[in-house]
A = this chain, B = another copy of it.
């Protein structure tokens, strides 16, 4: 097998991987994307759907993701102002990653709960 080719692809792949990690890195971006893709639109709604997140983090991440065109924020300035978030088509390209990670998490839980406890 062509060694050189393998090496070249490796470098490319590491870079692609690092790019992805850069964009969706951190504790909250994927859960937020997931929540919005699941149909949650309102700020408090999203907040409630993600255990552990604080108002501050949600606000910050939403802002960043809006700048990166991952989500769209719409304000309806009716009597009680209404704000809605939706995912963009670009955002939906994370679908496979999120699904793979949810699967892994579920398998991992099985794996952990099946294993007898190990003393170190």
Given A18-B105, A97-B97, A97-B104; 5 other pairs, CB 8 A cutoff: A6-B38, A10-B38, A16-B108, A18-B51, A20-B102
Nearest residue (CB) in B for A23 is: B108
Q: List 27 A-B contacts (CB under 8 A).
A: A10-B35, A10-B38, A11-B51, A12-B106, A13-B34, A14-B31, A14-B35, A14-B50, A16-B101, A16-B102, A16-B106, A16-B109, A17-B30, A17-B105, A18-B31, A19-B105, A19-B108, A19-B109, A20-B102, A20-B104, A20-B105, A20-B108, A21-B27, A93-B107, A94-B104, A96-B100, A96-B103
Q: What mask results when residues 71 to 110 of chain A are scored 1 for a CB within 8 Å of chain B, else 0?
A: 0000000000000000000100110111011111111110
Residues of B within 8 A of A31 (CB): 14, 17-18, 21
Question: A36 → chain B, closest Cβ, in Å?
Answer: 12
Q: Given known contacts A96-B103, A101-B97, is B51 in contact with A15 (CB within 8 Å)?
A: yes
A interface with B by C-beta (< 8 Å): 6, 10-21, 23, 25, 27, 30-31, 34-35, 38, 49-52, 90, 93-94, 96-98, 100-109, 111
